[in-house]
Amino acid sequence: MALHSLSTPIEYLKGVGPQRADVLKKEISVFTYQDLINYYPFRYVDRTRFYKVRELSPELPMVQVLGRVLTKEIIGEKQSKRLVAKLRDETGVIELVWFQGIRWVDKMLHPNAVYVVFGKPNEFNGKISISHPELELFNPESNKLGNLTLQPVYNSTEKLKQFSLDTKGIQRIQANVLDAVIYEVEETLPAYLLDQYKLITKPQALKFIHFPPDSSALQAAVKRLKFEELFFIQLKLLKNKLLRTQKFKGLVFDKVGDKFNTFYKEKLPFDLTGAQKRVLKEIRTDTQRGIQMNRLLQGDVGSGKTIVALMCMLLAIDNGCQACIMAPTEILAQQHYNSIRGLVSDGFVSIALLTGSTLKKERKVIHEQLADGTLKILVGTHALIEDTVQFANLGLAVVDEQHRFGVEQRAKLWKKNTTPPHVLVMTATPIPRTLSMTLYGDLDVSVIDELPAGRKPIKTIHLFESQRLRMFGFMRQEIALGRQVYIVYPLIKESEKLDLLYLEAGIETISQEFPLPDFRISIVHGKLKPAEKDFEMQRFIKGETQIMVATTVIEVGVNVPNASVMIIENAERFGLSQLHQLRGRVGRGAEQSYCILMSGNKLSKEAKVRLETMVKTNDGFAISEIDLQLRGPGDMEGTRQSGVLDLKLADLTQDQNILQEARNEVIRIFEEDPDLALDKNLLLKRFFSRKDRGISLHNIS
Ligand code: ADP
Ligand code: MG
SS (H, E, C) 38-102: CCCCCEEEECCCCECHHHCCCCCCCEEEEEEEEEEEEECCHHHCEEEEEEEECCEEEEEEECCCH
Distance CA 579, CA 587 (A): 14
For residue 102, how far is its CA from the centre of ligand 1 (angstroms)? 72
Q: What is the mean pLDDT of residues 683-692?
A: 77
For residue 311, how far is its CA from the centre of ligand 1 (angstroms)? 13
pTM: 0.75
Q: State residue 136's pLDDT score.
A: 79
SS3 11: helix
Q: State residue 505's pLDDT score.
A: 86
Q: What is the mean pLDDT of residues 74-95?
A: 92
From residue 289, give the alpha-carbon distance in Å to each of 254, 393, 433.
9, 18, 26
Going by pLDDT thresholds of 50, 70 and 90, the confidence category of residue 447 is very high
Whether 144 has a pLDDT exceeding 60, the answer reads no
300 alpha carbon, closest ligand = 1
Distance CA 312, CA 306 (A): 10
The residues with which 83 forms a beta bridge, in sequence order, are 74, 98
Q: State residue 695's pLDDT score.
A: 35
Please work out whether the CB of residue 240 comes within 6 Å of at least one atom of ligand 1: no
Question: Running DSSP on this structure, what letter comes out for residue 116?
Answer: E
Q: What is the mean pLDDT of residues 229-245?
A: 91
Which atom number of ligand 1 is nearest to the Cα of residue 559? Answer: 7
Half-sphere exposure of 70 (CA within 13 A, CB side): 11
Cβ pair 614, 595 in contact under 8 A: yes
Q: State residue 2's pLDDT score.
A: 57
Going by pLDDT thresholds of 50, 70 and 90, the confidence category of residue 459 is very high
Please work out whether the CB of residue 301 comes within 6 Å of at least one atom of ligand 1: yes
Ligand 1 atom 26: residue of nearest CA: 452
Whether 344 has a pLDDT exceeding 50, the answer reads yes
pLDDT digits (tens, 9 = 90+) for 550-575: 887 665 456 788 999 999 999 998 88
pLDDT digits (tens, 9 = 90+) for 630-646: 887 766 655 544 555 67
Distance CA 502, CA 507 (A): 9
For residue 429, how far is its CA from the centre of ligand 2 (angstroms)? 10
From residue 490, give the alpha-carbon distance in Å to each of 104, 208, 549, 568.
56, 47, 11, 8
For residue 404, how far is its CA from the centre of ligand 2 (angstroms)? 14
Distance CA 626, CA 628 (A): 5
Whether 362 has a pLDDT exceeding 90, the answer reads yes
